[in-house]
Amino acid sequence: MAIDLIDLAKGYLTDSVINSVSGAVGESAAATRNAASGAIPAVLGGLIKKASTADGAGMLASLLDQDHDGSMLDDLGGMLDGEKLSSIADKGSSALSGIFGGGMESIASALGSASGVSAKSSGSILEILAPIVLGVLGKQKKSVGLDTGGLAKLLMSQSESVKRALPAGMSGLLGLGSLGEIGKVAADAGRATAGAVRNSGTAAAVAAGNAGGSMMRKLLPLALLIGAALLLWPTLKGCGQKATDTVGSVAGAAGDMAGDAMGAAGEMADGAVNAAGEMADGAVNAAGKMANNAADAVASLFDYANAPSAADLGVTSGGVMDQFIGFLKSGTGMEKTFTLDKVHFETGSNVLKADSRGQLDEVAKVLDAYEAVNIELQGHTDNEGGTDSNQQLSEQRASAVKIYLESKGIAGDRLSAKGYGESAPAGTNDTAAGRAMNRRTDIRVTQK
Percentage of the chain modeled with pLDDT above 70: 69
The pLDDT tens digits for 2-41 are 578 999 899 889 998 999 899 999 999 999 999 999 999 9
| Pairing, β 374-380 against β 337-339 | unpaired
C-alpha angle 351-409-310 in degrees, rounded to nearest 5: 90
Among the listed residues 301, 302, 307, 308, the one whose alpha carbon sits nearest the alpha carbon of residue 331: 301
The pLDDT tens digits for 401-438 are 999 999 899 999 999 999 999 999 999 999 999 999 99
Are 24 and 125 within 8 A, CB to CB? no
DSSP-derived letter for residue 352 is: B
Using DSSP, state whether 345 is helix, strand or coil: strand
The pLDDT tens digits for 107-121 are 989 898 888 899 999
Report how far residue 20's alpha carbon sits from residue 22's, in angstroms, rounded to the nearest whole number. Answer: 5
Are 52 and 184 within 8 A, CB to CB? no
Among the listed residues 342, 344, 339, 306, the one whose alpha carbon sits nearest the alpha carbon of residue 324: 339
Q: Is the pLDDT of residue 83 over 80?
A: no
Positive or negative, the CA dihedral 98, 102, 105, 107 is negative
Amino acid at 30: A
Cα R_g (the chain), whole angstroms: 31
DSSP-derived letter for residue 239 is: G
Q: Which phi and psi (to 5°) does residue 354 adopt?
A: -60, -30
The pLDDT tens digits for 290-311 are 544 444 444 444 456 677 888 8
| CA-based max dimension of the chain | 98
Looking at the DSSP bridge assignments, the partners of residue 192 are: none
Are 397 and 419 within 8 A, CB to CB? yes
Q: Of how many residues is the chain composed?
A: 448
Q: Is the pLDDT of residue 371 over 60?
A: yes
Amino acid at 192: A
- Tell me the C-alpha to C-alpha distance, in Å, between residue 19 and each of 80, 81, 91, 226: 10, 11, 20, 76
Sketch out the chain's domains with CATH numbers. Answer: 5-178 (no CATH), 185-303 (no CATH), 310-447 (3.30.1330.60)
Helix axes 54-67, 148-156, angle to 10 degrees: 100
Are 396 and 379 within 8 A, CB to CB? yes
pLDDT given for residue 205 in this prediction? 41
Q: Which phi and psi (to 5°) does residue 240 adopt?
A: 65, -125
pTM above 0.75, yes or no: no
